[in-house]
Amino acid sequence: MRGAGLVAACALLALAGGAAAQEAPEGAPAAPELPSRTIRTPADSKPLAAAPILTVDQDRLFAASDWGKRTQRVLEEEGRKIEAENERLAAQLSDEEAELTRQRGTLDPAEFRKQAEAFDLRATEVRRERAKVVEDLNAWAETDRAAFYRAALPLMGEMMQERGAVAVLDRRTVFVSLDAIDLTQDLVVRLNTDLGDGAGTVPLTGSTP
């Protein structure tokens, strides 16, 4: 019999461990490694009273915050659920295929073909449903991260004004800067105090698996 449906469903196992992980397409050129753009301020330097420009590491800001850590825990937990359910469904489909194969010698060819086609359709539907679960989790993660930055923006503006700055730049866009003007860690502390872990801001809709 054709095993296309089962093969397609089993391929979902590869999705489970990478839920919400975005990877570069195969064959895509790797991003070039850029030199460090931050110069460490000498220990004997006087603290900066004010700086017109501040920088922030957006990725580290999210990852180091209570909000980002909570998001990562949710992704890991949901990813484990997806993996377990994918394995269960793959084993179930494998058993069904094996049973249908055993019946091939006793079934009327037309009946066997009918059951084989029904199996392939069911396996394809399982694949579609499991892919949708991963897609929904990825969409939730993106929405949750966007909500974090929206909530962080007013607090970032407050700190910018407190320090007499006129702009906060993403460190990735700055060719070179002093670490003394980096706002990331101080902003993480402010965000944790004022925002907490953001639980419930973007509900994880649907059920996983």
Determine, yes or no, domain membership for 112.
Answer: yes
Determine, yes or no, domain membership for 127.
Answer: yes
Structural domain count of the chain: 1
Determine, yes or no, domain membership for 105.
Answer: yes
Encoded tokens for 137: 């989790």
Q: What CA–CA distance (Å, rounded) separates 105 from 165?
A: 80
Question: pTM for this structure?
Answer: 0.75
Residue 78: which domain range?
4-16+48-195
pLDDT > 50? residue 191: yes
Determine, yes or no, domain membership for 159.
Answer: yes
HSE of 105 in the Cβ direction (CA atoms, 13 Å)? 2
Determine, yes or no, domain membership for 55.
Answer: yes
Determine, yes or no, domain membership for 26.
Answer: no
Determine, yes or no, domain membership for 29.
Answer: no
Determine, yes or no, domain membership for 189.
Answer: yes
Q: Of 6-10, 66-70, 98-102, which has the strongest mean pLDDT?
A: 66-70
Using the CB atoms, write b or e for 156-189: b if 16+ within 10 Å. beebbeebebeebeebeeeeebeebbbbbeebbe
Identify the weakest region by mean pLDDT among 9-13, 30-34, 156-160: 9-13
Backbone angles phi, psi at 201, to 5 degrees: -60, -45
- For residue 11, the model assigns a pLDDT of 35
